[in-house]
Structure formats: structure tokens, C-alpha cells
């Protein structure tokens, strides 16, 4: 029962957050000074032509009416028309979303798998030469600008060694029977490798440092000392008790990392010409294509909010103090 | 077979802090006879936990056993290699910590944690382990349905019972209980102590019960070791030490705690002051700065632990005057006047 209530209140909370995001996005693009369509209105248009264009996009109505139309449309999954492409925003976004998600999750998966293992290892080898060498290195990867890292990887692995293609998602002219066929092809993986690696290197520091410091804290807990007094093996003590407990907060940080990563994607997608939401968002903003920018923003927000929900559920699943309250 | 299961001789444990060190245990000696409960008592900071942990050789990172012998079953376990020591842990020497809440891993069921020692340390099969879990829970009086529960789902008293079950899992010879009932209310304290006593008698094991509360010692112990500032002040049979204490510190402790059985024994008089900073212990008798009976020699010469009557040892320069001092110590003003 209390479980059901928790889920219900959490869902309500998410709905409110989503509504706030939607409203802010609406106001952000409407309240900017000037005619929102200025960039798309030819100066030679007559006033009638301009008004017809505005009417076509619903911009002639009062603000509150626009707001309700906008909300109503959203509920039906309708995100409006792109000024620039003159096609539905939703179509465009859903075509790009998989690319972004694949890039984000594959790089984060690598970053977390590596970060968790390396962080646990460094905590275990606390004070050793390995640790002393590794920590500054990790801090360095955190300080490197993404675009610089991307360029270096591009220069080395693509231009110099020629191991990976320089950008895009598929060889020129390649055609696939389905999206599934594309995403599972070897070509796609080789295109994915460099941008994903760039993001993975950029993001592994967070889980690594977090895991390490959690481990160091957990190792001081009584139950770890007790595990030693029980004569359990070092492996059992470190992995089954210390690492298992230290993992909990790292899993939650995954959700935050996804949000971070979606921002980070903007840079990496641009460097590697990766057709994702981030790159599209930048293009849309610089081209004053407000419906598209608004749609892309919204999509990113939805992913972040969903990830928070997933992280909560994951935490509850992994922590019996929550699941067996 | 030696009469004493455990004999600690001149044990020294020191902590490295900054550039210096704290000699938290500075030459402690005491015995634990087979089949008895020995109370290790003293105020907080006297080195009781340090002694208890040194016996398992699982000590803080900055701690080191710097001297002495720990004769367990006639073998000096302070000197054996770590591998041999680890083989003794839990199979021969088990531990009950103060807070079962923090000492049980929150993410596993208690059954998992029992199984862990039964299977990994005891070599039991899955079937044997399950049966053993059930009989252990029966022994400590928890219904076996609760085996699947997580530590946080138990009350404080129940968790302490789980800790006892865990300690008894592999039939150890010695159980070290570090303040096992300190976090509990008096009624639950009594229940847990009764149970501990019952199981100890039934299994014929030895128990070292570490506590700051002398009434706990009076309640269930056979013998008492009183520690002060890293040394043993007085040791002997419980009745002898508590009814005829010969060390002023023991006399003071006795005045400072209510009776666990509930009998009001006059007003409580705490000993003024606190144990010394062990980074710079006072010269001579370490209790001298707080002792109402200290004389000149006390602050220059450290009193040796000597037998005053058979099996009753005291480290005090005025031990021979004990009967007189006991009478003076029984008066509240003695401790107030000194303050
Ligand atoms: N890890 C440690 N590092 C430094 N000093 C410590 C450490 N643990 C305990 N001490 C010190 O050693 C002394 C004895 O502590 P402890 O054995 O815990 O006493 P008790 O259990 O009797 O309260 C105290 O002065 C305490 O501050
Ligand atoms: S030796 Fe002196 S100071 Fe120490 S307890 Fe005995 S009388 Fe008191
Ligand atoms: Mg203690």
C-alpha cells in the first residue's frame, strides 16, 4: 500500500515537473522580443502574406489561447511544424532520438563499467603507487575539454591510423533494410566508436571517483570490519560487502550523468557529424527554428526526467532498506 | 589442555597518530578460564575495545600489537602467521559487536549473512546450512520465518540476538562481546544477558564481555578484569572483586552505576574527571590524578599487578589497606571532597 502511494506521488511529481518544463519552453520562445518568425519572413512579403504565414503557425492568436492549443497538441504527441524544414517536428525528432540515445547509453555504459571497476580497485589499493599515478590521470581526463579530446581521437584514430571513419553514422550511399539492420551493422559500430569513446573518456571520471570515495567510506563501516573478523576472504569482503554497498549511490548518479551527457552530446555530435538531437538543437537555435528547438529541448527534458524515475526504481531495487521498508 | 582457554600476557597495542603514538593498551595481563564469562570493565577510552580487537588481530589500520603474548589454547596467536590466524577466526574466536545494526550488512538478509559464515567458513552444504540457520534462530528465540528479513527490519534487541546467533554459528570456543547490550534499554539488556548466560552454560564456551557498566558485570560474569588507562587495575573472581574491591578505581566504579537488578543502592556518585590522555599518560599510577587516596609514591612509581589473595590481583600501592579504604570510599563525600 505505502508502496503504491509512493509510486503514485512520484508519478504526480514527475507530471508536475514535466508541466513546468513545457510551460517554460512555451514562454521562452514566445516572450522573446521581436517576431518569432522574423528569420522566415521574406522582407518582400506583403502584410497579408505575413499574417497568413503567422496564422498558418497559429501565431496570430492571443498568448493564452496559443498555450492551450500547444498543451492540447502536446498531449496528442503533436510538436508543431518546423519553420525551416516545413515538416512535423515530431517526425524529425524521433528520427534523431535513437542516434542520440545509442551514443549516450553506449558511452555511459562503457564509462560506468570502467569507472566502477577502476574506482573499486583504486580504493582497495589505497595508498599504492598505482593509486598515486591514477588519480591525477583521472582528474586530467575530467579537465580536458570535450572538443579537444574529440579532435585528438579523431586525428589519431581516424586521420592518422585510419582505424575508424571520421563522422556520420554510415558509409556514403549505404542503405539498410531497416533501422534495426543499420544499428546492428558493423559499419554503424565503427562510426559509433570514436564519438562514444570520446564521451566515455570524458564521463568515466565521475563514476570512478564516486565509486572510489564511497568504497573508502564503506570500508570503514562496522560490517566490513566484522566481515574480516569472520575470517572471510579479502575478495568476499571487498567485492560482496564493500563494493556492493558502495555501488548504490553510483547507480543514482547514472541518471544525473545522462542529463549531463545529453548536454555534452552537443559538442561531440558536432565534431563527429553525428546526426543526433544535440546537434539538431544547436542548428535549430542558430537558425531561429523555434518549434524544432522547443521540441528538441522537450525531448531531452523528457529523457532526463524518465532517467530520474528509473534511477529511483533501481535504487529501491538495489537497496532493501527502501524495497523492504 | 590448559585450565585457561586464553591467557593474555603483557599485551601492548599502540595507535600511530600524526608523528606520535597512543599506547592504548600498555601491558595488560589477564586470564579467561574455560567455560566462564569474564567481564572486561572500565570507563570509555580505557582500551577495552582495543584489547578485544587485538584478540582477533583485526585492528585499525593505524594500530599495531607492539608486545606481549596472546595464549589461546596454549598457542601464542599474537605470533602465528596471518593465514593461521584467519583459520581461527569465527571457527574458534567469534565476536559480538556493540551495534548489530552497523555490523550487519544492510543489503543482505540475515539468512544470507548466516549462510556466508556457515558455508564459506564452516564448509557446510546448502542443506546443512539451512538446517543450522533454523536451529540457531531457535536457540536465540527468533522464529525461523524471519531468516529472510533484512537487518533493518529487526528491533534493536532482536538484532542483538541475530548477532549472537551469528557468533555461535560455528561453535566457537571463545566469544568476545564488545558492549553487546549498551545500546539497549534495561529490560531488553537483561533478556539478552540472560540468554547469553544460558547459551554459554549450555555450550560450555568462554565469553569475554566488554562493558563500561559494572552492573552488567555483576549481573552475569564469573570473573572481572577492571581496566584503567590501558592497564589492568584489578582482576579476579567477580564476587571477590565487586564485594571486596581492593583498587580505588573499582570502588569508584561501583558507586557510579545503578544495579541492573533494579535495587536502588543509594545515590550514584560518579568519579570526578576523565581517564588521562594516553598520548601523554601521567607518570606513576595512572589513576593518581583522580584518586582520593593517592600518596606521594603514586605519582612517581607505577604499581605492579600483584596477587593480594589467591586469584585476586590488584595494581595499587595501597592494596594492603584495602579494607579501610573501602569504608572511606563508600562515603559519597570521599569522591566529592576530592573534586
Ligand atoms: N583508530 C584509533 N586511532 C587512534 N586512537 C585510537 C583509535 N582507536 C582508539 N583510540 C584511542 O585508544 C584509546 C582506547 O580506546 P578504546 O579501546 O576504544 O577504549 P574503550 O573501548 O575502553 O572505550 C582511546 O584513547 C582512544 O581514543
Ligand atoms: S596507586 Fe595510589 S593513586 Fe593509584 S590507585 Fe592506588 S592509591 Fe590511588
Ligand atoms: Mg569500546
Per-residue pLDDT of B20-49, as tens digits, reads 999 999 999 999 999 999 999 999 999 999
- pLDDT value at position B265? 56
Helix (H) or strand (E) holding A226: helix A222-229
Query: Taking CB atoms and an 8 Å cutoff, what residues of chain B touch A245?
Result: 105-107
Which residues does ligand 1 sit against, CB inside 6 Å? B 15, 17, 22, 24, 42, 44-50, 60, 62, 278
Identify which of B123, B20, B25 has the alpha carbon closest to the alpha carbon of residue B66: B25
**pLDDT (tens digit, 9 = 90+) per residue, A282-316?**
888 888 888 888 888 888 888 888 888 887 887 78
More reliable by pLDDT, A151 or B298: B298
Fold of A96-318: MetI-like fold (1.10.3720)
CB B173 within 8 A of CB B206: yes
Q: Which residues of B touch A (CB under 8 A)?
A: 56, 58, 86-91, 95, 97, 99, 102-109, 116-117, 120-121, 149-150, 152-153
Identify which of B225, B209, B231, B243 has the alpha carbon closest to the alpha carbon of residue B37: B209
- pLDDT value at position B211? 96
Query: Taking CB atoms and an 8 Å cutoff, what residues of chain A touch B121?
Result: 230-232
Domain ranges of chain B: 4-92+172-338, 101-171
Share of chain B above pLDDT 90, in %: 83
- pLDDT value at position A2? 61
pLDDT at A254 over 90: no
Report how far residue A296's alpha carbon sits from residue A59's, in angstroms, rounded to the nearest whole number: 20
Which atom, in ligand 2's list, is nearest to the CA of B248?
5
Task: Identify which of A225, A245, A321 has the shortest CB distance to residue B152.
Answer: A321
Task: Identify which of B91, B95, B102 has the shortest CB distance to residue A221.
Answer: B102
Report how far residue B222's alpha carbon sits from residue B240's, in angstroms, rounded to the nearest whole number: 10
Domain ranges of chain A: 2-75, 96-318
pLDDT at A177 over 80: no
CATH homologous superfamily of B4-92+172-338: P-loop containing nucleotide triphosphate hydrolases (3.40.50.300)
pLDDT at B169 over 80: yes
C-alpha cell read off for A314 = 533501481
Q: Please give the radius of gyration of chain B, using alpha carbons only, rounded to the nearest integer.
A: 21
Residues in contact with A301: Cβ distance below 8 Å, sequence separation at least 6, in sequence order: A18, A21, A25
Answer yes or no: do A222 and B116 touch at CB < 8 A: no
More reliable by pLDDT, A36 or A93: A93
Nearest ligand to residue B61 Cα = 1
CB A103 within 8 A of CB A306: no
C-alpha cell read off for B141 = 528465540
What SS3 class is residue B95?
A: strand
More reliable by pLDDT, A276 or B206: B206
Report the mean per-residue pLDDT for chain A: 84
**pLDDT (tens digit, 9 = 90+) per residue, A225-253?**
999 999 999 999 999 999 999 998 898 88
Q: What are phi and psi of B174, to 5 degrees?
A: -130, 130
| Residue B116 to residues B11, B111, B169, Cα–Cα distance (Å) | 32, 8, 10
Q: DSSP letters of B67-85?
A: EEEEEETTEETTTS-HHHH
Q: What is the ipTM of this complex?
A: 0.93
pLDDT at A132 over 80: yes
- pLDDT value at position B268? 80
C-alpha cell read off for A47 = 502584410
Give mean pLDDT, residues A136-147: 84
**pLDDT (tens digit, 9 = 90+) per residue, B232-264?**
999 999 999 999 999 999 999 988 877 665 555
pLDDT at B337 over 70: no
Amino acid at each position: 500500500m505505502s508502496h503504491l502511494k509512493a509510486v503514485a506521488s512520484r508519478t504526480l511529481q514527475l507530471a508536475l515537473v514535466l508541466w513546468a518544463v513545457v510551460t517554460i519552453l512555451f514562454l521562452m520562445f514566445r516572450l522573446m522580443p521581436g517576431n518569432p518568425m522574423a528569420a522566415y519572413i521574406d522582407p518582400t512579403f506583403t502584410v497579408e502574406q505575413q499574417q497568413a504565414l503567422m496564422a498558418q503557425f497559429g501565431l496570430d492568436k492571443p498568448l493564452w489561447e496559443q498555450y492551450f492549443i500547444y498543451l492540447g497538441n502536446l498531449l496528442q504527441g503533436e510538436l508543431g511544424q518546423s519553420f525551416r524544414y516545413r515538416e512535423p517536428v515530431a517526425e524529425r525528432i524521433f528520427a534523431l532520438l535513437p542516434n542520440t540515445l545509442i551514443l549516450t547509453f553506449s558511452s555511459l555504459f562503457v564509462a560506468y563499467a570502467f569507472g566502477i571497476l577502476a574506482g573499486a580497485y583504486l580504493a582497495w589499493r589505497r595508498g599504492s603507487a598505482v593509486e598515486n599515478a591514477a588519480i591525477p590521470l583521472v582528474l586530467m581526463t575530467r579537465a580536458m575539454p570535450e572538443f579537444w579530446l574529440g579532435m585528438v581521437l579523431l586525428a589519431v584514430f581516424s586521420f592518422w591510423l585510419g582505424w575508424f571513419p571520421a563522422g556520420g553514422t554510415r558509409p556514403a550511399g549505404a542503405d539498410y533494410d531497416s533501422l534495426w539492420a543499420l544499428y546492428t551493422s558493423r559499419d554503424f559500430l565503427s562510426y559509433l566508436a570514436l564519438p562514444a569513446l570520446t564521451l566515455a573518456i570524458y564521463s568515466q571520471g565521475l563514476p570512478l571517483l564516486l565509486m572510489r570515495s564511497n568504497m573508502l567510506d564503506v570500508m570503514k563501516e562496522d560490517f566490513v570490519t566484522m566481515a574480516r573478523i569472520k575470517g572471510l576472504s579479502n575478495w568476499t569482503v571487498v567485492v560482496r560487502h564493500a563494493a556492493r554497498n558502495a555501488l548504490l549511490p553510483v547507480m543514482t548518479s547514472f541518471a544525473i550523468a545522462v542529463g549531463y551527457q545529453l548536454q555534452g552530446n552537443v559538442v561531440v555530435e558536432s565534431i563527429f557529424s553525428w546526426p543526433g538531437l544535440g546537434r539538431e538543437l544547436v542548428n535549430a537555435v542558430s537558425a531561429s527554428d523555434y518549434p524544432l528547438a522547443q521540441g528538441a529541448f522537450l525531448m531531452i527534458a523528457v529523457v532526463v526526467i524518465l532517467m530520474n524515475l528509473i534511477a529511483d526504481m533501481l535504487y529501491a531495487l538495489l537497496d532493501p532498506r527502501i524495497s523492504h521498508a | 589442555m590448559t585450565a585457561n582457554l586464553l591467557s593474555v600476557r603483557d599485551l601492548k597495542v599502540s595507535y600511530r597518530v600524526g608523528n606520535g603514538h597512543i599506547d592504548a593498551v600498555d601491558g595488560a595481563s589477564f586470564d579467561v578460564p574455560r567455560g566462564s564469562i569474564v567481564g572486561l570493565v572500565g570507563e570509555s577510552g580505557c582500551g577495552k575495545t582495543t584489547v578485544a580487537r587485538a584478540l582477533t588481530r583485526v585492528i585499525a589500520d593505524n594500530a599495531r600489537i607492539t608486545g606481549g603474548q596472546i595464549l589461546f589454547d596454549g598457542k601464542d596467536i599474537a605470533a602465528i602467521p596471518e593465514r593461521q590466524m584467519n583459520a581461527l577466526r569465527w571457527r574458534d574466536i567469534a565476536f559480538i559487536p556493540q551495534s548489530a545494526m552497523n555490523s550487519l550488512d544492510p543489503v543482505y538478509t540475515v539468512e544470507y549473512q548466516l549462510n556466508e559464515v556457515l558455508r564459506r567458513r564452516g564448509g557446510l552444504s546448502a542443506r546443512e546450512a539451512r538446517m543450522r540457520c533454523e536451529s540457531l534462530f531457535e536457540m536465540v528465540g527468533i522464529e525461523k520465518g524471519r531468516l529472510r528479513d533484512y537487518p533493518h527490519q529487526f528491533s534493536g534487541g532482536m538484532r542483538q540476538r541475530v548477532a549472537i546467533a551469528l557468533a555461535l554459528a560455528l561453535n566457537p570456543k571463545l566469544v568476545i562481546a564488545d558492549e553487546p547490550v549498551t545500546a539497549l534499554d534495561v529490560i531488553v539488556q537483561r533478556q539478552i544477558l540472560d540468554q547469553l548466560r544460558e547459551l554459554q552454560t549450555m555450550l560450555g564456551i568462554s565469553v569475554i564481555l566488554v562493558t563500561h557498566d559494572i552492573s552488567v558485570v555483576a549481573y552475569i560474569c564469573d570473573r572481572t578484569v577492571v581496566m584503567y588507562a590501558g592497564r589492568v587495575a584489578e582482576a579476579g573472581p567477580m564476587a571477590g572483586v565487586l564485594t571486596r574491591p581492593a583498587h580505588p578505581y573499582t570502588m569508584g566504579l561501583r558507586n557510579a552505576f545503578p544495579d541492573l537488578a533494579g535495587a536502588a543502592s543509594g545515590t550514584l556518585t560518579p568519579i570526578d574527571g576523565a581517564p588521562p590522555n594516553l598520548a601523554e599518560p601521567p607518570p606513576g599510577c595512572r589513576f593518581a590524578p583522580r584518586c582520593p587516596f593517592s600518596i606521594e609514591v603514586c605519582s612517581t612509581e607505577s604499581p605492579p599487578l600483584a596477587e593480594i589473595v589467591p586469584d585476586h590481583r590488584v595494581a595499587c600501592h595501597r592494596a594492603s589497606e584495602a579494607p579501610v579504604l573501602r569504608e572511606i570510599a563508600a562515603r559519597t563525600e570521599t569522591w566529592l571532597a576530592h573534586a
